[in-house]
Amino acid sequence: MDLTEFADEIGPTGPITIAGLSTRGGPVDGVRPVMAPVGIERVQPEEMTVWCGAGTPVEELDAALAVHGQCVAIPPFGTVGGALAVGRSGLRRLAYGPVRDTLLQARYVNADGQIVKAGGPTVKNVSGFDLCRLLVGSCGTLGFLGDVILRTRPRAQFEQWFVTGADPTWVVAHLYRPSSVLWDGDSTWVLLEGDPRDVEAQAGRAGLKEADPPTGLPSGGRWSVAPSEIPQLVGTGRFIAEIGVGIVHHEHPQAARRVDPAIVELHHRLKHEFDPEGRLNPGVDVLSVG
Amino acid sequence: MDTLVDDLRSALGPDRVRTGPSELSLYRRDASNMEGSTTVVCLPVSTAEVQACVRIAVRHGVPFVPRGSGTGLAGGAVPLDGAVVIATTKMDQILRVDESNRLAWVQPGLLNLDLSNQLGHLGLHFAPDPSSQQTCSIGGNVANNSGGPHCLAEGVTASHILAVQVVLPDGTVTTLAGEEPEPVGYDLRGAFVGSEGMLGIATEVCVRLTQNPPGVKTMLMDFATVEDGAATVSGIIAAGMVPAAVEMMDRLCLQAVEAYIRADLPVDSAAALLVEVVGLPNGLDADVERIIAIAHEHHVKNVRVAQDDEERALLWKGRKSAFGAIARIKPNYYLHDTVVPRSKLPEVLAQVYEIAARYELQVLNVFHAGDGNLHPLLVYDAREPGTTERVHLAGQEIVRVSVEAGGVLSGEHGIGLEKRDYMHLMFSDIDLAAQGALRRAFDPEGIANPGKVLPSPAACGDIHSVPEGAWI
């Protein structure tokens, strides 16, 4: 299915929801669902970009990029569009950055059923307002992603997980660009990538021991806290925290975070401007998605 | 009823509200070639004072223009129609540094390089490094989503801003995002960065800090043709390397710089690449080896690897002196800023040379080749009759060919006034309506820096070199 058909299917009226592989919550119940175009249009390794339908499975995209020694910094499973719409990062965010930094251009369908282009196809672009970042994490409430151009990055030449009993703050201070540092209040796991000799030398200097990554991340809640608050998590329950990032995989849900009334007001105005009738993913409130 | 100036003076005190003719003349322009007009310039020292200025402007129904150091090249800080200029230059402090989590809260008037210099002892720096980094402000970087040579690997400003405290166009103070990685709701901080002062004024900025690399290798490689240099750039990227920086200078630029600083640059070559890689020793050496091998596949003439910090600094001085060097050729220059796919660099550069020749202008190219960000510099003497017009016509064509090659209007300078009426080259009316919707959500009255970025509907399909309300 191409983008025009996708837009036609969405049309200009009536409640509509977007479905993917239901990895991150799925479509709104009882509302007519649409699915975004699937397929990789073009891999351009020398540009470090890839163009694909938002309905493309992340796994399929990853396999196509692996051939060229590249990857994208979005977490596994589900569809590309779903990963972008939800905007949650993967475990390597410390080195790879947040999901929002990967989206260069999006063509999405707006509440009027029209195709809108946001951003541009090049790795660097400041032409106009940054609607791409607004769309990432917007949970399909401002528009439905049709196809996207993403920034790719080199796949690690070599990677190894390690473990240590050392304080995670000390570990971070003594390593150059670890890809992930996880802490459960007791042990610290570290992922290093790069030239194998550099990985070995860094691990040796910091007293890290080769290990498997932690299994079974607590899945009761995905907390987002200032990285400086991570030490205070001890005693709140079982958790694995991403040091230097602030994502905490916790056995309990995060307490509701206070949102400034001015921010709430901006959300209402944005939703009103982009979807005045509230037809896109009706009932989804990004301020209460926890 | 009190006048606008009286109200501003009561809020800020008389000495930080300026209306003298020489100051108004200074603040009616930025580093672009455009001028506007202002009736009053405010120099607040706190968020509360910025808020007071905005509220007073709102009350009087007068638009305001946020301003940092005024180094922008696209006219984004040029006030139109007597707007109030709110300059954040006096808000230049580092407020707090979290060394272990590598972030800092700073005021918007802090200069880019001052931030990195003041953090040097912690082994940290602020990654975006515009050529103007000695004089441009963090607030300006946020407004323009600024880039720089080292943004190839590290990303532009948007990737380094965690949160922004802002005064919204209605005078409300709030903070967009925060130190936490996944703030509740829409990425308002992401929408604000690069919004060119049209969504409000940043009053505090939380920046991400980057570890200084343990090792650096810098090399200069020159080629008999621009094509060979460009093919080397694509080859490096396709091989899975992202150097810290990949800069290109063409022959005229090399000659101008060499005459200026005497760095033993390859003045007989068509193009030179300045490539810098950073990291840990083994990976670094392997990258240097692979990059040199790729350059040899593309007929590199000479490879010069800086042997020490002094030589490295000299090579970078060559790159960064380009703008000073051109003054030896002609008194004026017009710097363009477009991006094209890396693979199109040779083709578009050939078109740039052809356009310049057709308009009888000299063009130097010194640019961020790694991310395809072209910076053609048209050098001219504005005193020669008709020259300025030719510069503008040539510039328009350069922008057009860049977009037609699959590129974009601006890589790091922004749209401002300069490229406002080119937006239709890249965006449809529907696309622009979506950007207008974002603007309205933040600023329903259109009081923050009006007249920038978004073309007025009347300008559709009608490209003007200089928008109304501004003049050269």
Assign residue B377 the CATH number of its domain. 3.30.70.2740
Task: Tell me whether residues A110 and B434 touch, CB distance under 8 A.
Answer: yes
Question: Amino acid identity, residue A125?
Answer: N
Does a structural domain hold residue B106?
Answer: yes
State the Cα torsion B139-A258-B179-B99 to the nearest 10°.
120
Does a structural domain hold residue B451?
Answer: no
Does a structural domain hold residue B178?
Answer: yes
CA separation for the pair A80, A84 (Å, rounded): 6
CA angle A118, B409, B227 (to 5 degrees): 115
Cα dist. A266→B65, B170, B298, B367 in Å?
A: 21, 12, 53, 38
Task: Tell me whether residues B183 and A126 touch, CB distance under 8 A.
Answer: no
Mean pLDDT of chain B: 94
Residue B469 has pLDDT above 60, yes or no: no
* Secondary-structure percent of chain B, ordered helix, strand, coil, rounded to 5: 40, 20, 40
- Give the model confidence (pLDDT) of B287-342 as tens digits: 999 999 999 999 999 999 999 999 999 999 888 888 788 888 899 999 999 999 99
Cα dist. A104→B65, B69, B203 in Å?
A: 28, 29, 28
Residue B435 has pLDDT above 90, yes or no: yes
Using a CB-CB cut-off of 8 Å, the residues of chain A touching B169 are none
* Closest residue in A to B233 (Cα–Cα): A46
Domain span including residue B77: 4-87
Note whether B173 and B202 are same-domain residues. yes
Which among B52, B64, B174, B206 has a CA at the least distance from the CA of A269? B174
- Give the model confidence (pLDDT) of B48-64 as tens digits: 999 999 999 999 999 99
Where do the DSSP E strands lie in A45-203?
49-53, 70-71, 103-109, 115-119, 144-151, 153-154, 159-164, 180-183, 188-193
Task: Tell me whether residues B431 and A118 touch, CB distance under 8 A.
Answer: yes
Q: A61 vs chain B: nearest CA distance in angstroms?
A: 17
Task: Tell me whether residues B159 and A120 touch, CB distance under 8 A.
Answer: no
Q: B230 vs chain A: nearest CA distance in angstroms?
A: 11
Task: Tell me whether residues A130 and B440 touch, CB distance under 8 A.
Answer: no
**A266 — phi, psi (to 5°)?**
-60, -40
* Closest residue in A to B76 (Cα–Cα): A128
In B, residues 321-360, which contact A (CB 8 Å cutoff)?
339-343
Q: How confident is the model at residue B457 (pLDDT cuts 50, 70, 90)?
A: low
Task: Tell me whether residues A228 and B437 touch, CB distance under 8 A.
Answer: no
Domain endpoint, select from B190, B211, B232: B211
Question: Which DSSP helix (H) or strand (E) runs through B307?
Answer: none
Note whether B109 and B190 are same-domain residues. yes
Using a CB-CB cut-off of 8 Å, the residues of chain B touching A227 are 98, 101, 103, 179, 181
Note whether B204 and B103 are same-domain residues. yes
B469 touches chain A (CB under 8 A): no
- Give the model confidence (pLDDT) of B242-294 as tens digits: 999 999 999 999 999 999 989 899 999 999 999 999 999 999 999 999 999 99
Q: What is the 3-state secondary structure (H, E, C) of B203-262?
A: EEEEEECEECCCCEEEEEEEECCHHHHHHHHHHHHHCCCCCCEEEEEEHHHHHHHHHHHC
* Closest residue in A to B344 (Cα–Cα): A47
* Closest residue in B to A49 (Cα–Cα): B341
- Nearest by CB to B453, from A69, A110, A128: name it: A128
Burial A60-79 (b: 16+ CB within 10 A, else e): ebbeebeebebbbbbbeebb
Domain endpoint, select from B183, B211, B239: B211
Task: Tell me whether residues B435 and A263 touch, CB distance under 8 A.
Answer: no
Q: A223 vs chain B: nearest CA distance in angstroms?
A: 9
Residue B466 has pLDDT above 50, yes or no: no
Angle (deg, nearest 10), helices B47-60 and B4-12: 170
CA separation for the pair B463, A258 (Å, rounded): 47
Note whether B222 and B284 are same-domain residues. yes
B183 touches chain A (CB under 8 A): yes
3-state secondary structure of A14: coil
Task: Tell me whether residues B172 and A89 touch, CB distance under 8 A.
Answer: no
* Closest residue in A to B199 (Cα–Cα): A129
Q: How confident is the model at residue B86 (pLDDT cuts 50, 70, 90)?
A: very high
Does a structural domain hold residue B393?
Answer: yes
Note whether B207 and B99 are same-domain residues. yes
How many structural domains is chain B composed of? 4
CA separation for the pair A245, B182 (Å, rounded): 9
Task: Tell me whether residues A127 and B415 touch, CB distance under 8 A.
Answer: yes
DSSP alpha helices (H): ranges in B30-130? Answer: 47-60, 112-119
Does a structural domain hold residue B287?
Answer: yes
B423 touches chain A (CB under 8 A): yes
CA separation for the pair B187, A130 (Å, rounded): 10
Q: What is the largest CA-CA distance in chain B?
A: 75
Structure tokens at B205: 């900025």
- Give the model confidence (pLDDT) of B200-238 as tens digits: 999 999 999 999 999 999 999 999 999 999 999 999 999
Report the CATH number at residue B231.
3.30.70.2190
Note whether B133 and B82 are same-domain residues. no
Note whether B277 and B343 are same-domain residues. no
Report the CATH number at residue B126.
3.30.465.10
Q: What is the 3-state secondary structure (H, E, C) of B116-182?
A: HHHHHHHCEECCCCCCCCCCCEHHHHHHHCCCCCCHHHHCCHHHHEEEEEEECCCCCEEEEECCCCC
- Give the model confidence (pLDDT) of A99-156 as tens digits: 999 999 999 999 999 999 999 999 999 999 999 999 999 999 999 999 999 999 999 9
Note whether B203 and B220 are same-domain residues. no
Residues 6+ away with beta carbon under 8 Å from A240: A182, A183, A184, A214, A217, A218, A248, A249
Which among B337, B375, B351 has a CA at the least distance from the CA of B248? B375
pLDDT on residue B319: 86
* Secondary-structure percent of chain A, ordered helix, strand, coil, rounded to 5: 25, 25, 50
Task: Tell me whether residues A224 and B183 touch, CB distance under 8 A.
Answer: yes
Using a CB-CB cut-off of 8 Å, the residues of chain B touching A98 are 181
- Nearest by CB to B438, from A125, A131, A263: name it: A131
Task: Tell me whether residues B156 and A267 touch, CB distance under 8 A.
Answer: no
Task: Tell me whether residues A173 and B100 touch, CB distance under 8 A.
Answer: yes
Note whether B192 and B125 are same-domain residues. yes
Note whether B189 and B273 are same-domain residues. no
Cα dist. A216→A21, A208, A239, A250, B147 in Å?
A: 22, 21, 10, 11, 40
Structure tokens at B41: 């310039």
Q: B99 vs chain A: nearest CA distance in angstroms?
A: 9
Task: Tell me whether residues A124 and B426 touch, CB distance under 8 A.
Answer: no
- Nearest by CB to B185, from A110, A132, A259: name it: A259
pLDDT on residue A288: 87
ipTM > 0.95? yes
- Nearest by CB to A287, from B174, B184, B414: name it: B184
Task: Tell me whether residues B186 and A259 touch, CB distance under 8 A.
Answer: no
Q: B385 vs chain A: nearest CA distance in angstroms?
A: 32
Question: Amino acid identity, residue B443?
Answer: D
Q: Tell me how far the alpha carbon of residue B301 is from its chain's centroid.
A: 32
Does a structural domain hold residue B55?
Answer: yes
Using a CB-CB cut-off of 8 Å, the residues of chain A touching B242 are 48, 153-154
pLDDT tens per residue across all 290 residues of chain A:
699 999 999 999 999 999 999 998 899 999 999 999 999 999 999 999 999 999 999 999 999 999 999 999 999 999 999 999 999 999 999 999 999 999 999 999 999 999 999 999 999 999 999 999 999 999 999 999 999 999 999 999 999 999 999 999 999 999 999 999 999 999 999 999 999 999 999 999 999 999 999 988 999 999 999 999 999 999 999 999 999 999 999 999 999 999 999 999 999 999 999 999 999 999 999 998 65
Does a structural domain hold residue B340?
Answer: yes
CB atoms within 10 A of CB B23: 15
Does a structural domain hold residue B309?
Answer: yes
* Closest residue in A to B374 (Cα–Cα): A124
Note whether B164 and B100 are same-domain residues. yes
The arrangement of strands across the sheet holding B103-106 comes to: B94-98, B103-106, B201-208, B161-167, B173-177
Using a CB-CB cut-off of 8 Å, the residues of chain B touching A44 are 341, 343
Q: B21 vs chain A: nearest CA distance in angstroms?
A: 33
Q: A256 vs chain B: nearest CA distance in angstroms?
A: 10
Structure tokens at A158: 């070599």
Domain endpoint, select from B87, B106, B122: B87
Note whether B229 and B314 are same-domain residues. yes
In B, residues 263-292, which contact A (CB 8 Å cutoff)?
279-283, 286
Find which of B103, B161, B173, B187 to mutate to test the A interface (most A CBs within 10 Å of its CB): B187
pLDDT on residue A258: 93
Q: A124 vs chain B: nearest CA distance in angstroms?
A: 5
